[in-house]
Structure 1
Amino acid sequence: MQAVRSSIARRLVVGQSRGMATRSGAREDLLLEKDPALSKYHSVKDTVSAIKRFGDVLVILVAAGAVFEIGWKVQERNAARAEESKSAVASQSAE
């Protein structure tokens, strides 16, 4: 059974790795050539990566701010609970 599976797998992989059987024609070659009219439009790969990096940093800052805010709220709530428990203990001892 294992031999049958490996045979089928090999056929699938070989079938996918084959290239095109025909060569491109003259029209396709002309379409793939560099166009001098487009030379004024430079590559924006560096700009796009800088914007992505800025977005990543911004997401990290927002997440860090949210975590800080949650921690601050928890700390305030715990302090308020401690204060309430102190006042409750003080009122019970005064009675």
Structure 2
Amino acid sequence: MPTKAEWRTLQTYVNDEATKLIDENAHSGYTYTNETGFSALFAGFRIYYNGSFTSLGFYAYFWSSTEGSSHYASIVTLYYNYSNVYFINYYEDFGFNVRCLKD
């Protein structure tokens, strides 16, 4: 799983333009180029306390292997209507997407 620094490298590579990472058909009414072939989809996430899923079709969250603070990890966030790549710390019990990185 990529570290936050490795995610930052990808962010720099796409010049902080999330549209280059998002699948062309991820959300109707918006234009995404997916120039990198990363093909992110807005899969949302799983809520830890009840197991339900939320944000389907609107947000993509990806784990990094970097801890943010006690019980929190740094995650990468892509929003359907924002053009930037965002990093936030989130509670580790939530269920986010995993993207592997070939060394």
Give the TM-score, by structure 2 length: 0.12
Higher relative contact order (CA 8 A, sep 6+): 2
Looking at secondary structure, tell me which structure has more strand per residue: 2
Structure with the higher helix share, 1 or 2:
1
